[in-house]
Amino acid sequence: MENPFGKITALEKVLAFFHDRMSLMFGGFGGVGSPPALIDGILEKGICDITLIGNDTGFPHIGIGKLVSQGRAKKVIASHIGSNPVAGQLMHAGKLEVEFSPQGILAERIRAGGVGLPAILSDIGMDNELVSRNKPHFQLNGKDYLIETALTAEVAIVYAKKADAFGNLIYDKSARNTNPLVAMAGDITIAEVEEIVPVGCLNPEEIITPGVFVDYIIPSKGVNWKWAWE
């Protein structure tokens, strides 16, 4: 039977959305919660000059760090890059632009992008050149703030434990991390999932990301999904 919902598809189909010089937002914390099949597919496609937006740059051979280590990114917006020494080397060599944002502020900038706000105000990092560089200030009630622009991306990629055919997502404990925020902030959001279940099988109280935010679902390696709507 043909998939009646249109969201469940194959990796080969969604790779059409990835291209040179794109903006790509990703879920994950140190590689945990990042979608491995999607990242490997992007590597194999060979796209480059990507602007990456996410919590960190993973490790050299784990998570989004694979893209960074192979020189596929031209810019990274992240809270830290210390777990991936290759990212630091590229930054100091002038081959990778890095915009640092405190972790909580980064998460809020992504959330703001997901709900349609243009920016947020923050007094975090005003005395830190790495954080405040080139950011405008705004005074409210006699206090100065940085204007932190909201973050969105052409494509957002997330990783979930379970999904139904509508795209409702459940995450696995700490692998949830930034994924729910990232899922909201992509023009196109693609979820890689470990298990796809029939509609009605997910406990509504456990659903973290509603399917309205998810455009496509791909099964992670080894997942049999064809029965999900049968």
Q: pLDDT tens digits, residue range 84-135?
A: 999 999 999 999 999 999 999 999 999 999 999 999 999 998 888 888 888 8
In the chain the first and final C-alpha atoms are separated, in Å, by 7
Q: Is residue 129 part of a domain?
A: no
* Residue 125 located in a structural domain: no
In a domain, 5, yes or no: no
Q: Which residues pair with 122 in a beta bridge?
A: 146
pLDDT band at 4 (very low <50, low <70, confident <90, very high): low
Q: Is residue 143 part of a domain?
A: no
What's residue 223's pLDDT?
65
Rounded to 5°, angle at Cα 150 from 146 and 154 = 150
Residue listed under structure tokens 């890059």: 81
Please check whether residue 124 lies inside any domain of the structure.
Answer: no
Q: Residue 45 sits in a domain of what CATH number? A: 3.40.1080.10
In total, how many domains does the chain have? 1
Give the model's pLDDT for residue 92: 96
Q: Does the residue 159 lie in any domain?
A: yes
Lowest-pLDDT range, 4-13, 65-74, 162-171, 211-220?
Answer: 4-13
Structure tokens at 82: 């210390």
In a domain, 26, yes or no: yes
pLDDT tens profile 32-53: 999 999 999 999 999 999 999 9
10 Å Cβ neighbour count for 32?
Answer: 17
Q: How confident is the model at residue 5 (pLDDT cuts 50, 70, 90)?
A: low
What range defines the domain where residue 225 resides? 11-116+152-229
Beta partners for residue 62, in sequence order: 59
Burial of 109 (C-beta count, 10 Å sphere; 0-12/13-18/19+): buried
- Residue 119 burial by Cβ neighbours in a 10 Å radius (0-12, 13-18, 19+): middle
Q: What is the pLDDT of residue 133?
A: 84
pLDDT in tens, 202-218: 999 999 999 999 999 99
Residue 144 lies in a domain: no
Per-residue model confidence as pLDDT tens digits over 160-207: 999 999 999 999 999 999 999 999 999 999 999 999 998 899 999 999
In terms of Cα–Cα distance, which of 161, 198, 218 is closest to 33?
161
> Is pLDDT of 144 > 80?
yes
Helix H segments across the chain?
A: 11-14, 36-45, 65-69, 85-92, 103-115, 129-132, 179-184
